[in-house]
A = this chain, B = another copy of it.
Amino acid sequence: MIRFNNDYNRGAHPAILEALAETNTTSYGGYGQDEWCEGAAAAIRSELGGADTEIHFLVGGTQVNYTVIAAALRPYESVVCADTAHIQVHETGAVENSGHKIETVPNVDGKLTAEAVRGIAEAYRVSTIPEHITEPKFVFLSMPSEYGTIYRLDELCALRTVCDEYGLYLYVDGARMAYGLGAADSDVTLADLAALCDAFTIGGTKCGALFGEALVLKNPALRRHFRSFMKQNGALLAKGWLLGLQFATLFENGRYFELGRRADALAMRLKAACEAKGLPLYMPNSTNQQFVVLTDAQKAALARDFIFEEEGQVPDGRSIVRFCTSWANTDEEVDALCRAIAAL
């Protein structure tokens, strides 16, 4: 069986394991105050176009999302996101558990639009009873989105404009950032994100690391006591250098970007195979997650050799399934899946 069900089913890029082995007997300072974390932050910062930032390393995506939100918001402030956002649908109410309301708007191609954010922000601004409603303050989006689609630079700029107009924080969950940046049609860079966002993450877990998310804090308001928030939320890894070491390795010689581009290219081969076979794509995109509509017979055929994920149904009852490629897939694995699709 070959797993295409997600992009976090194997270990790490070999260079990371090598670095771990080389440093295993060296002792380091604890809690992220070490030379590896410094080096990783510097390596990331060199991609950020000179933006003044503070960079932290956390273990997981749910953790980083709710910790940033806890640090950003007062109790009467809320998060705005698409109805498909990961924090809304797949993090077990972690944001609400930390006390904050999420206000959702309908997604457009899996994405949040500036117009929708403006609608919510303006409704609060003109409310005659603002003390009876929460204040929208934190705009959350994922890049790429939960459906693999990517934000174009002009879309992000439009979101920034609305955020500036209403005093909102703009945050990008980049758990799959390598795959967003690596898309052939992406016109967004990390420097753009650093210019436009108050904070964003650069995912490691799904993009070549054993685990870890880098958090880039640009807005100084979000930095205050951030390490206290990390500790309070169980997000301050004792052996923090393990995170620094991984990100330093990923950002060595553009490795992170290369891993993303390669996985996206593999996904485009799957996409082409589906199109050649006439399989409908549920939400066409250019990144590493491909959502395909299959009949039960097609599902059964592919399930003989491959593991993939069910994501729901289209109205006629056929299934939407997800195939993920990742930095770890071999050409042979993708070849095999393409052949199986062609043979349906």
Contact = CB atoms under 8 A, between A and B. Distances in A.
Contacts of A129: 90
- Counted per complex, copies of this chain come to 4
Main secondary structure of the interface of A (DSSP, over half): loop
Given A9-B29, A238-B205, A101 B90 contact: no
Contact of A27 (B10, B91, B231): B10
A21 B24 contact: no
A297 interface: no
A317 interface: no
Interface residues of A, number: 76
B9 A25 contact: no
Contacts of A98: 99
Most buried by B among A21, A59, A102, A239: A239
Most buried by B among A8, A14, A27: A27
A99 B97 contact: yes
A30 B67 CA distance: 22
Interface of A: 2-3, 6, 8-12, 14, 17, 20-21, 23-31, 59-64, 66-67, 70, 74-76, 78, 89-94, 96-102, 128-135, 205-206, 210-211, 225, 227-239, 242, 310, 328
A8 to B, nearest CB: 5
Contacts of A67: 234
Nearest to A228: B76
Contacts of A74: 225
Contacts of A101: 93, 96-97, 102
A100 to B, nearest CB: 6
A30 B6 contact: yes
